[in-house]
Amino acid sequence: MAARTASALLACLVLGLPALALPASAQPRTDLVLGMISEPPTLDPSAAAPITIGQVVWQNLFEGLTRVDRDGAVVPQLAESWSVSQDGLAYTFTLREGVTFHNGQPFNAGSARYTIERILAEGSTNPQRAAYAVIEAVETPDDRTLVLRLSRPSGDLPFRLAQPAAVMVEETSSGTNGTEPVGTGPFRFSDWRRGNEVTLTRSPDYWDEAGAARLEQATFRFIPDPQAAAAALQAGDVDAFPLFPAPELYPTFEADERFQAEPGLTQMKVVAGLNSERAPLDDPRVRQALMMAVDRQTLIEAVASGFGLAIGSHHTPSDPGYADLTGVHSYDPEAARALLAEAGYPDGFPLTIKAPQMPYAARSAEILQALLAEVGVQITIQPTEFPASWVQQVLTERDYEMTIIAHGEPLDIGIYARDPYYFNYRNPAFDETVAAAGEAVEEGERARLYGEAQAILAEDVPALFLYLQPKLSVWRAGLEGYWIDEPVPSNDLTEVRWTE
Amino acid sequence: MPKRFLRSLLGFATTFLVLSVLIFALMEIVPGDIASAMLGTAATPETVAALRAELGLDAPALQRYLAWVGGLLTGDLGTSLAYRVPVSGLIAERMAVTLPLTLMAATLAVALALPLGVLAAARPGGPMDVLATLYAQVGIAVPNFWIGLLLILFVSLWLGLLPASGFPGWDGGLLPGLRALLLPALALAIPQSAVLTRVTRASVVEAMNEDFVRTARAKGASVRRALWRHAVPNALVPVVTMLGLQFSFLIAGAVLVENVFSLPGMGRLAWQALAQRDLIVIQNVVFLFAAIVIAVNFVVDLLYTVLDPRLRRRA
């Protein structure tokens, strides 16, 4: 009897296992578990900078007056349309009707005005406050009209308003958006088990019927370890990893038909910043020589298994006026050595690089060390904890010679004109060009000026421009509607759905 | 007894006071602050200053220290600077993962080590002894995160029996929670049980050679009776000592194992809080870890007196 029970149990176990692995019915699922490396500290994108915040809430929970679509174009969202005055100093937005926040409060010109004034307020901790400083006054002639008066023209404004830092918030909930966000998006906040996952559920009364979320529930699960991320995907614990952290394991997923793995691009520009105030880096010839000593393709191969795009300046293909400038100081160690000799360093010189502990940065530093050794520059790698130590030492105190970091803010070429900023780069011609580009309202002119600014950087090399980080997304087969590229730090899940 | 109790209580208070000063001072000298961490590459001097003011970080160190310790005494652990929720809630959520995990691991370790060690000692040089020695050697040599990876590979990915990562939470029921903790607990338990096997074996072998066991044998006790009735109980003191000592290793190991299995436990909390420079969270977590280790040592101390009557008289 006992033996029979045991063998029956065993049979159940063996036969039952595959059955347990199968979904209960043939109905497509309506929930999604999406993996991310790090957890946002708060869910309020207007209060802190980590791009992980936008990767959870932007478009899913919070919306802006405008938005960036999957191709990087700026399109209307909570503002139906807008117009610019002749002198370029006033933007008039016509707001959408019938939009309500998740707490039932209406969205109107009053909430739009509150949001903008909150960003600009004295003591505001909005990380992108500087980008909106051009706004001088906010007017609301009626409930559906918002007028922004500017101190100087700004063609970038609609793009800036489409960023996570400028999402529309409602006054009574703005203080608690960090822990219980209230937006106008297709998903609403459901639960946050800190250190583990954030859950959003479909908003039943979303204003745009056609644009309503297809999924009933979306869970963002935080898995910091690359090995654990791969295991979680393979075991079916998560359905997708839009920014898969281990490029060397990516080909396994490309070959596995249970998954869809299509590499795209992010807006993360990996650059090796040079301190232009420190000798010998204050000599442009030295910086150019360093650039010519770098074989970007080799670096991309070694750091990101060949995924990613080599860049020659601080721009991405979705930015206005982008041009491939990798040829300006292309790989030529012979010429690099000659230029170093001309600058007075025939035997090279020692250099210290402060490298954050993220895998891409640490690996890039090692490859740079090998490549620059070829032209006589001996690099010492100094691991620097990111963000806290790095921000203090490099960004705030500017106490470094060379460093490496991925810049994730879209269209942030203007950082080279900031003073003070960690590059210590000063070039009035660049400052003027980039300021003019930001002001240009006419698209062609804007693209031309941004193109010029880009070319100045490529020539001057305030940083070694290395590559654009790939978006190595892995999605379970049967999912569609996700974004291949990431023009804004986000995981827009509005159109994501299961087909099987 | 009350005198001894008072003395150890005073000792505790001093230890905790010194500990709190040490932890706070260490956090003060770590470079970087939470404002820089939260603002990242977007940090400007104005926004950093605004955020520091908002978080109350511009207050003098002594004032912040007193606020923390004062809070600790009244049971208020403060508010996380990054998450902006009460620290006590964060810690409670995480302890609900780490505590069962370490207890499960400790239980598994003892359950594996005791029988193995005693059986090995029963016949030194026998096949069971060889097996136990081999197990102990491998178990000590292989780090727990590696065991974790192997368990994920075989049990989760190949056999599909248990989840590879994550924790469903206890509100989803006891069984899913225990299922999620089983592999990590095993990964944590194996190295510990290896050490314990060795200690148990050595301790029982030693006891078997003691005079009292020889006396028992001379009076006609069988080998089995001499082993279980006389040698094993006397061999338990060093095993309990080892278990107490290892508890801090279990907690340290939990940090690594939680990472491998992506469990939202105390280790993850400490790690994340450190990266974020969420000082109030780190202070409390480190303090709590230290308190647990001290408390476990205290319990082990008490257990000695239970296990060994001679110690009772000495006190």
Q: So what's the pLDDT on residue A492? A: 97
Within its chain, how far is the Cα of A254 from the centroid?
A: 23
CB A484 within 8 A of CB A264: yes
Percent of chain A with pLDDT over 90: 86
**Among B206, B212, B240, CA closest to B226:** B212
Report residue A369's pLDDT band, with 50, 70 and 90 as the boundaries.
very high
| Beta pairing class for A378-384 and A350-356 | parallel
Q: Looking at this predicted complex, what is its ipTM?
A: 0.84
pLDDT of residue A283: 97
Calculate the CA dihedral of residues A306, A308, A309, A313 and round it to 10 degrees. Answer: -120
Q: What is the pLDDT of residues A6-26, one digit of tens each?
A: 444 444 444 444 444 444 556
Return the structure tokens found at A404: 């490496």
Instruction: Closest CB to A196: pick one of B44, B149, B264.
Output: B264
pLDDT tens for the 315 residues of chain B, in order: 567 678 877 887 888 899 899 999 988 888 888 888 888 888 888 888 888 888 888 889 999 999 999 998 898 999 999 899 999 999 999 999 999 999 999 999 999 999 999 999 888 889 999 999 999 999 989 988 899 989 998 988 888 888 888 888 888 889 999 999 999 999 999 999 999 999 999 988 888 888 888 888 888 888 788 888 888 887 888 888 888 878 878 888 888 899 889 899 998 898 889 888 999 999 999 898 888 888 887 787 777 777 776 666 554
Residue B236 backbone dihedrals phi, psi, to 5 degrees: -75, -25
Lowest mean pLDDT across A134-138, A276-280, B149-153: B149-153
Q: Helices A359-373 & A296-304, crossing angle to 10 degrees?
A: 140
SS3 A77: coil
| Cα dihedral: A110, A111, A116, A121 (round 10) | 90
Check pLDDT > 60 for residue A365: yes
Q: Which SS3 state, helix, strand or coil, does residue B185 take? A: helix
Taking CA–CA distances from A175, the nearest residue in chain B reads: B84
Extract the tokens encoding B45.
Answer: 């001097």
**Are the CB atoms for A56 and A222 separated by under 8 Å?**
no
Per the CB < 8 Å rule, is A194 touching B85?
yes
Mean pLDDT, range A21-44, rounded to an integer: 83
* Cβ contacts of A384 on chain B, cutoff 8 Å: none
Which of A126, A231, A396 minimises the CB distance to B152? A231
Whether residue A157 contacts residue A128, with contact meaning beta carbons closer than 8 Å, is answered with: no
Q: How far apart are CA A419 and CA A401, in angstroms?
A: 17
Helix (H) or strand (E) holding A67: strand A66-68
| CA neighbours closer than 13 Å in the CB half-sphere of residue A311 | 31
Of B34, B83, B164, the CB nearest to A235: B164
Half-sphere exposure of A134 (CA within 13 A, CB side): 21
What is the per-residue DSSP string for A411-439? T-GGGGG-SS-TT----HHHHHHHHHHHH
- By C-alpha distance, the chain A residue nearest B33 is A388
Tokens read off for A291: 């650039």
Which of B38, B153, B258 has the highest number of chain A CBs within 10 A, making it the mutation to test binding with A? B38
Contacts of B90 in chain A (CB under 8 A): 194-195
Which residues of chain B lie closer than 8 angstroms to A224, CB-CB? 259, 262, 268
- Residues A225, A227: Cα–Cα separation, whole Å: 6
Report the residue of chain B nearest A231, measured CA to CA.
Answer: B164
Say how many CB pairs under 8 Å bridge A and B: 158
Once rounded to an integer, what is the mean pLDDT over residues A142-170?
96
Query: How many beta carbons lie within 10 A of that of residue A121, not counting itself?
Result: 12
Inter-chain CB proximity B36 and A392 less than 8 Å: yes
Nearest CA in chain B to A422: B41
How far are the Cα atoms of A37, A293, A296, A304 from residue A261, in angstroms, in the given order?
17, 33, 24, 15
Residue A228 touches partner B, C-beta closer than 8 Å? yes
Residues B161 and B238 sit within 8 Å (Cβ to Cβ)? no
The contacts found for A412-420 with CB under 8 angstroms, 24 or more apart, are A412/A314, A413/A313, A413/A314, A413/A315, A413/A319, A413/A450, A413/A453, A413/A454, A413/A457, A414/A438, A415/A314, A416/A314, A416/A457, A416/A462
- Count of Cβ atoms closer than 10 Å to residue B53 Cβ: 14
Measured in Å, how far apart are chain B's first and last C-alpha atoms? 8
> pLDDT of A393-432, one tens digit each?
999 899 999 999 999 888 999 999 998 899 999 999 999 9
How many beta carbons lie within 10 A of that of residue A323, not counting itself? 17
- Asked if the Cβ–Cβ distance from B165 to A228 is below 8 Å, we say yes
* Contact call for A396 and B53, based on CB within 8 A: no
Residues 13-32 of chain A with CB under 8 A from chain B are 17, 21
The answer to whether A35 and A197 are in contact (CB under 8 A) is no
Residues 91-110 of A with CB under 8 A from B: none
Transcribe A366-414 into DSSP letters. Answer: HHHHHHHHTTTPEEEEEEE-TTHHHIIIIIIT---SEE-EEE-STT-GG
Q: What is the pLDDT of residue B39?
A: 84
Tokens 């654009």 belong to residue: A468
What end-to-end distance do the CA atoms of chain A give, in Å? 44
The answer to whether A220 and A38 have CB atoms below 8 angstroms apart is no
Strand partners, A263: A472
- Find the residue in A nearest to B30 (Cα): A389
- Chain B CB contacts of A408 below 8 Å: 41
Min Cα–Cα distance to chain B from A16, Å: 11
Are B109 and B116 in contact, with CB atoms under 8 Å apart?
A: no
Q: Could you tell me which of B84, B69, B85 has the C-alpha nearest to residue B19?
A: B69
| pLDDT of the residue at B313 | 58
Residue A32 pairs in a beta bridge with A218
Tokens linked to B56: 């109350």
Least confident range of A33-47, A290-304, B31-45: B31-45
Q: Is the peptide bond before A462 cis (omega within 30 degrees of 0)?
A: no
Distance from the Cα of A38 to chain B's closest Cα (Å) equals 9
A380: phi then psi, degrees, rounded to nearest 5: -105, 125
Task: Return d(Cα A82, Cα A294) in angstroms, integer.
Answer: 45
**Residues near A209 by beta carbon (within 8 Å), at least 6 away in sequence:** none
Which chain B residues touch A133 with a CB distance below 8 Å? Answer: none
Nearest CA-CA partner of A465 in A355, A312, A356, A315: A312
3-state SS class at B220: coil
Determine the pLDDT at residue A8. Answer: 45
Q: What is the mean pLDDT of chain A?
A: 92
| Residues of B whose CB is below 8 A from A405 | 41
Q: Which domains does chain A have, with CATH numbers?
A: 68-170 (3.90.76.10), 266-470 (3.10.105.10)
Compute and round to an integer the Cα radius of gyration of chain A: 25
B41·A126 Cβ contact <8 A? no
- Smallest Cβ–Cβ distance between B165 and the set A194, A195, A223 belongs to A223
Which among A49, A178, A223 is the nearest to B84, CB-wise?
A178
A123, A224, A237: residue with CB nearest B163: A237
Asked if A195's CB is within 8 angstroms of B272's CB, the reply is yes
Distances (CA, A) of A2 to A5, A6, A8, B261, B311: 5, 6, 10, 37, 49
Listed residue (B307, B187, B202, B186) closest to B244, CA to CA: B307
- pLDDT tens per residue, range A212-245: 999 999 999 999 888 889 999 999 999 999 999 9
Residue A430 to residue B55: CA distance in whole angstroms = 37
Distances (CA, A) of A69 to A83, A96, A488, A492, B154: 20, 18, 9, 9, 42
Evaluate the omega torsion of the peptide bond into residue A41 and state whether it is cis, within 30 degrees of 0: no
Q: Give the model's pLDDT for residue B2.
A: 64
Q: Can you give the pLDDT at residue A6? A: 46
Helix (H, G, I), strand (E, B) or coil at B92: helix
The minimal CB distance from B38 to the residues A41, A393, A395 is found for A41
pTM of the model: 0.88
